[in-house]
Amino acid sequence: MLSNLTPQPADKIIELMKLFREDPRTAKVDLGVGVYKDATGHTPVMRAVKAAEKQLWEQETTKTYVALAGDPAFADAMRQLILGDAAPAARVAGAATPGGTGAVHMAFELAKMAKPDVRVRVSSPTWPNHLSILRHRGIAFAEYRYFHEATRGVDFDAMMADLADVGPGDLVLLHGCCHNPTGANLTEAQWGAVADLLERTGAVPMIDMAYQGFGDGLDADAYGTRLLAARLPEVLIAASCSKNFGVYRERTGLLLAIAADQATRDIAQGSMAHLNRQNFSFPPDHGARLVTMILNDPALRADWQAELEEVRLGMLGLRQSLADELRQRTNSDRFDFVARHRGMFSRLGATPEQVMAMRASHGIYMVGDSRINIAGLNATTVPILAEAIVKAGV
């Protein structure tokens, strides 16, 4: 049986990580892997997470299973963080998942369960795993234009033109904030136009919320998601706690499903529990419990938000530093988009050949489409990257 298997394509980012580890140069710079790092290149455990873990260690009395959909308190705390009062709790179903990837996977499965011939519209570009999961599940999808290569911003007119043909029950995948891989976000006015289109056509938004708090702040980053939740009868939201709580290895994610009424919500809740049962039975709880403790404890929450704000402002500072360095070196404003982008990523507009040249000459490791992880920079490496960009002729 196993002899019938064929080799699977290598994950480009995992391959890039391997190449970086094997590079003997000490001055190399890793801008590929999508993990937050501080100025020392370390991914720290947040202060509030450490404090919550200590409390949990002292108080926890059992490691028995939680519910199939996870602890309801986790779903409730995350619902309030993401949605605020945009949708009544009675219309919102929630299920814990292994990370944000698990939530994305479940969202696609739930959509296919509800509509076997569902068609998903995905931004071009998008996080590669979106497309990989859709192909793996055999779900039809089509891309819509999103990123304008010349301006390095959102090509909104093209996006809306491509989405003009969506219909009832089509699933439109949107990035809630900090678009991966481009860093280019919709404006509030553009979110309003998207809401108008979805309301008019009956298409259902699926929002990937992986970076809340990394862009313009917790509430600002949730603006588009809350707008759609307030205006539309159905919304799917796949949320990750890996970045904003720093609990990457705890695999802490959540799928929220907003339904038109409570009866439909109850059916959706049962369906999500069923999907968990088929995939892995009970979801992991440790990270979810820490997140719940932090969000429900005023002191822990205040410390978490303060540290998250430090992280956010640090990345904005790195963006501005890189944009300023490139402006000085090129005597032009063509890289100012780096400061306008939000979140961990920006796409520079380099060709694959230029990306390889930067790796060879300066030890700069980035994905082949020139996506860089801003959090992989520090005050020392910003000038090194700027020099590499200029010398490569980007």
Active site residue 210: yes
Provide the token pair at 169.
């029950």
Assigned token pair, 389: 């960009």
303 is catalytic: no
Q: Which two tokens stand for residue 30?
A: 């890793």
Do the Cβ atoms of 229 and 87 come closer than 8 Å? Answer: yes
Number of Cβ within 10 Å of residue 334's Cβ equals 13
Catalytic residue among 170, 208, 221, 285: 208
Question: How far apart are alpha carbons 381 and 384 in whole angstroms?
Answer: 5
Note if the bond before 125 is cis, omega within 30 degrees: yes
Q: Measure the CA–CA gap between 76 and 66, rounded to whole angstroms.
A: 15
- The DSSP call for residue 249 is G
Q: What per-residue confidence (pLDDT) applies to 9?
A: 84
Q: How far apart are alpha carbons 83 and 91 in whole angstroms?
A: 12
One pLDDT digit (tens) per residue for the chain, 394 residues: 999 999 988 888 888 889 999 999 988 999 998 899 998 889 999 999 999 999 999 999 999 999 999 999 999 999 999 999 999 999 999 999 999 999 999 999 999 999 999 999 999 999 999 999 999 999 999 999 999 999 999 999 999 999 999 999 999 999 999 999 999 999 999 999 999 999 999 999 999 999 999 999 999 999 999 999 999 999 999 999 999 999 999 999 999 999 999 999 999 999 999 999 999 999 999 999 999 999 999 999 999 999 999 999 999 999 999 999 999 999 999 999 999 999 999 999 999 999 999 999 999 999 999 999 999 999 999 999 999 999 999 9
Q: What domains appear along the chain, each with residue ranges and CATH number?
A: 11-44+305-392 (3.90.1150.10), 65-296 (3.40.640.10)
Q: Which of 75, 112, 127, 259 is catalytic?
A: 127
Question: 144 is written with which tokens?
Answer: 């819509």
pLDDT at position 27 is: 87
- What pLDDT shows up at residue 8? 87
Q: Is 57 annotated in the active site?
A: no
Of 86, 96, 107, 243, which one is the catalytic site residue? Answer: 243
For CA atoms 50, 289, 308, 341, the dihedral sign is positive
State the pLDDT at residue 60.
95
pTM of the complete model:
0.96
Choice among 87, 95, 103, 210 that is catalytic: 210
Strands (E), the chain: 29-30, 92-98, 119-124, 140-145, 147-148, 153-154, 171-175, 204-209, 235-240, 252-258, 345-347, 364-365, 371-373
